[in-house]
Chain A
Amino acid sequence: MAIALEGANPLGPSGNLPRRKRVDRAMRASATGAALLAVAVLIIVIASIVGKGASALSLDFFTKAPPLDGAGGGILPEIVGTGLIVGLATAFALPIGILIALFLNEFASPRVAYPIRLALDLLNGLPSIVIAVFVYGLLVIGSGQKGVDGSIALAIIMVPLIARSTQEVLRLVPQSQRDASLALGMSRWRTTLGIVLPACLSGIITGAVLAIARAAGETAPLLLTTSFFNPNQGTTANLFGQAIPNIPMEIFTQLDQASPADHARAWGSALVLVALILLVSVTARVLLARSRRKMQR
């Protein structure tokens, strides 16, 4: 940002109006240009994913396992695996995230809440590879990779996201509703679970769905926790016994292969993953905006 375009006092008179107007127009044009550039990048990336991935899609792609050699086959085990790993991660992260948000918003004094908010922000800012190394050192060393290890790593990533989005909707519940419930003799915990939580349930769920969309694309944690699997094991639900195939790892490993058929499957997998994530997050965003409007009314 060329902040020093003019003299030291931007609001002072310079007397050169045409020049000031030219600068103004140039800066506004470049801000617009930056926004258009970002949109262009998005379009280029999405267009390549769709263009190169669409040809890989077929019924087989969704219903068959990857071939042991050559082309053909599909990514059914990977789709199921991603669903299972992320599902279990959500089962871990959702209750914890909601409880944290309740504590921060309903119970904690500012002095107690500050260090916990800070811890949440720090956890949110940690590189996912660091969380992956942590889970690897904690669970994978010694006992080998398991699907559940991946779920735990993803859950650590999801908790701060869910806690934050839940706090935001909790803040929208009018204090008067809590006061009314307490004044009627309801206890604190009944008020919280019976009045406050139901009032913002839809907001909590959309926040959780956004966290799921984020976790579904995470690759670094899965690389260390659930990436070595037997290629002929096919579709499995055994999260607690072995590593589970998943879409991000499929993209990652197929890219390392030299053959165009493998690259085609990587593009196809990428298209499935991106379509899933975009669909989920766009729907969630629309719902979130709607429920916010409803609550603010």
Chain B
Amino acid sequence: MRVSTQTVTAPGAISGNRGRADRYGDRALLGITALASLLVVAVIAFIIYQLIDGAEMSMSTFGIAFVGHDIWNPVLNNQNGVFGAAAFLYGTAVTSAMALLIGGPIGIAIGLFLSLLAPRRVGAVIGPLVELIAAIPSVVLGLWGVLVLAPAMRTTIQPAIHDVFGWIPLFGSPSLTGLGLFTAGTILTIMVIPIIASISRELFLSVPKELQEGALALGATRWEMVRGVVLASTRPGLAATLILGLSRALGEAIAVLQVDGGGSSSSISANIFGSGDTLAARIANAFQSPTSTLESSSLFYLAVILLVLGLGTNLAAQLIVRRTTLGNQGAH
């Protein structure tokens, strides 16, 4: 009966051949999928190794003080060059803070609008439109920033802000080109809004309807319900959302490089209308044509700092989410 079990594969009568093939098949598929998954972990480890390896020369020359001084000059110190990250850290901090301070509340407000306030049909139109903002490539947003936004910044927006808030050192004399950290921060704001909006919307949709209706039944207005129930119960998730937005802003290179007005020199100035440079933008700008191996290594050092910031922010967001979901499971 051996022949018939091989041609007619009746259940329970599987031949030894087929059984062996299936055992190998199972193992092969498990092995190959596990290998692909390990590849991801390996790539991350390899990225960390590769960047630190490239930065080694700069790390041994400048040490941790690299982070603290703001000179980036290839000809100082007998043409050996002196390099430091402080100016780029400042530029990164200013532009990302601006993106988060403006884009955060706007993004969360859009998330609230889409999840709780908008009629379903309105939300079904506006939600995807907001997400389309995230689909615009950064190089195109940068192009728009240089040719459309920057002229408006120079002639209208920055003078107006300077006239009102000029007594604050941050808002000094407007940029002559319209390019600078403020313009870069504006572009980053546009980039983080759709991210924060779409994550916070999902977050708000996960708030149990009974809690919301309970608050409304107790006589709360809609906003009081949002504040007391929705925002209060999603606070950790919102923190994680903002951190993810921050991580996006920290790492954007191309659009910032196009609009930040930073040239070869770098300096720290309180006036955010002035030109500047961020970590990511400086790497993108100078990587092609470093003047020395030390500058090249220092650019790797900048990338290491960016890597640490990127991994740190994302880990923090993951930990917050994990801790709160575990906490919720424990509470039930």
Residues of A near any B CB (own CB < 8 A): 1, 3, 5-6, 10-11, 13, 20-21, 23-24, 27-28, 30-35, 37-39, 41-42, 45, 48-49, 52, 95-96, 99-100, 102-104, 106-108, 115-116, 118-134, 136-138, 156, 159-160, 163, 184-185, 187-190, 192-193, 213-214, 216-220, 223-224, 227-228, 248, 251-252, 255, 263, 266-267, 270, 273-274, 277-278, 281-282, 285
Q: How far is the CA of A37 from the CA of B47 in the complex (A)?
A: 39
Contact A130 B143 (CB under 8 A): no
Cβ distance A297 to chain B, nearest Cβ, rounded Å: 19
- Provide the residues of chain B in CB contact with A251, threshold 8 Å: 139-140, 143
Contact B221 A35 (CB under 8 A): no
Residue B118 CB within 8 A of the other chain: yes
Please provide the chain B residues from 185 to 238 with a CB less than 8 Å away from any CB of chain A in the complex. Answer: 190, 193-194, 197, 215, 218-224, 226-229, 231-232
B interface residues, how many (CB within 8 angstroms): 102
- Provide the residues of chain B in CB contact with A52, threshold 8 Å: 147
A33 closest partner in B (C-beta) = B109
Please provide the chain B residues from 120 to 177 with a CB less than 8 Å away from any CB of chain A in the complex. Answer: 126, 128-130, 132-133, 135-144, 146-148
Given A30-B109, A107-B34, also A122-B314 (CB < 8 A) = yes
- Provide the residues of chain B in CB contact with A267, threshold 8 Å: 143, 147
- Provide the residues of chain B in CB contact with A137, threshold 8 Å: 50-51, 53-54, 300
Given A193-B29, A220-B284, also A39-B39 (CB < 8 A) = no
Contacts A133-B300, A190-B22 known; 4 new A-B pairs at CB < 8 A: A48-B144, A102-B29, A129-B283, A255-B143
Cβ distance B325 to chain A, nearest Cβ, rounded Å: 12
Question: Which of B68-76, B78-86, B250-258 has 4 or more CB atoms under 8 Å from chain A?
Answer: B250-258
Residue B263 CB within 8 A of the other chain: no
Residue B287 CB within 8 A of the other chain: yes
Q: How far is the CA of A80 from the CA of B323 in the complex (A)?
A: 47
Interface of B is mostly: helix
Contact A11 B223 (CB under 8 A): no
- Provide the residues of chain A in CB contact with B197, threshold 8 Å: 38
Q: How far is the CA of A28 from the CA of B112 in the complex (A)?
A: 9
- Provide the residues of chain B in CB contact with A278, threshold 8 Å: 132, 135
Q: How far is the CA of A87 from the CA of B12 in the complex (A)?
A: 45
Residue B65 CB within 8 A of the other chain: no
A51 closest partner in B (C-beta) = B148
Q: How far is the CA of A124 from the CA of B317 in the complex (A)?
A: 13
- Provide the residues of chain B in CB contact with A220, threshold 8 Å: 138, 253-254, 280, 284
Cβ distance A146 to chain B, nearest Cβ, rounded Å: 15
Please provide the chain B residues from 54 to 71 with a CB less than 8 Å away from any CB of chain A in the complex. Answer: 54
Q: Which of A37, A134, A213, A277 contacts B51 (CB 8 A)?
A: A134
Cβ distance B127 to chain A, nearest Cβ, rounded Å: 9
Residue B266 CB within 8 A of the other chain: no
Cβ distance A279 to chain B, nearest Cβ, rounded Å: 10
